[in-house]
Amino acid sequence: MQERLRLAQARQHAVATAASEVVIAAVATAVPEHAIDQSEFLQLTLRVAPEFRRFEQLFANTGIERRYTAVPPAWMMQDHGWVERNAVFAEVAPRLIETVARDCAETAGIDVRNIDAVVVASTTGIAVPSLDARLANRLGLKPEVERLPLFGLGCAGGVTGLARAAGLARSNPGRNVLFVAVELCTINCRIGDRRMANFISAALFGDGAAGVLLRSLEPGETRAGRALLGATGEHMWPMTEDVMGWSIEPDGFGVVISPEIPRFARDKLRPALEGFLAREGLGLADLDGIVLHPGGRKVLESAEQALGVPRETFKHAWDVLGDYGNMSSPTVLFVLERTMAGQPRGRQLLTAFGPGFTVSFAMLDFG
């Protein structure tokens, strides 16, 4: 027994020793061509669903000024079925992720044929072959490229997907792993659904894509000023499947979004975060910044209350929410892009809530 334990510990040590440090080589973002002014879209919505006029202040109070969509706003005010909605997804999503993938490769100064693995997170459409295969063909990636499609992570997909990509990168020094997240939330706007949750969804969600190129360092290779991606983790609260997600309806995905989400952020975020940090031997005081997914105004305000931080802490999150709305999984990477443009220092925590109900974490070290 003792010998087996010794060998197991030795193997674990060998794996840990062989694991490479992973750095962020590039971040890129993209949005589709149609812009939605929040006030104009409110009036368009109320013409179709006038019974919500007494709730129109909800639109004004979102903190959102504009969003972007894969379809003209008038398209969302018409009836569509699964075939029409998914046809848009199959056309636009690959185009957006190709854009961010090429931008990442150019910024990192590598040829796309040197990408060793691709991870794609998306929850707003269905594609088989999956988006990673379509992206590989559009980019001309090598036939040996590893692919990992992720579905169902929702808003948390930007952090959880990045963690999965980091796992692939760490397995072999010198690997380039591309992670992309793309969501076309607006193609799932269903005008026949007159529930309050659908009205709130129409006020919040936009479309976009983001990419992160990760590099696992070879022996002797330096970080060269690049952010180091460290520990990752998740916390899922039991029996909370009805807090956030999709329902399957005859004409498309139906939004599931509980009014309890801000309360969850206020009451549950801090204990979950402190548990994650404690496992890494850290506390809240050891963080130099937090890169938070802006799920909405109330979620941001609740997170500020939970963590006892001023509004300025989440400045980039507030700005992204105002300029793009909640794009689900890519949104936190839009916040990361703006954070990195400000040349941050020290430990930055990347975090997002998602279906499950769950919160995902990733530590970034900017030196």
Rounded distance, CA 159 to CA 153, Å?
Answer: 10
Count of CB atoms situated within 10 Å of the CB of 255: 24
Nearest to 169, CA basis, from 25, 12, 366, 336: 25
Rounded distance, CA 239 to CA 27, Å?
Answer: 35
The residues, ordered by sequence, that sit 6+ positions from 161 with a Cβ below 8 Å of its Cβ are 119, 120, 121, 150, 153, 179, 181, 329
Annotated active-site residue in 104, 155, 185, 189:
155
Residue 217 near residue 20 (C-beta atoms within 8 A): yes
Q: Distance of alpha carbon 195 from its chain centroid, rounded?
A: 26
Nearest to 328, CA basis, from 162, 235, 212, 205: 205
Burial class (CB in 10 A: 0-12, 13-18, 19+), 365: middle
Nearest to 331, CA basis, from 209, 172, 191, 242: 209
Residue with tokens 């990509």: 165
155 is annotated as an active-site residue: yes
DSSP class of residue 326? B
Residues identified as active-site: 155
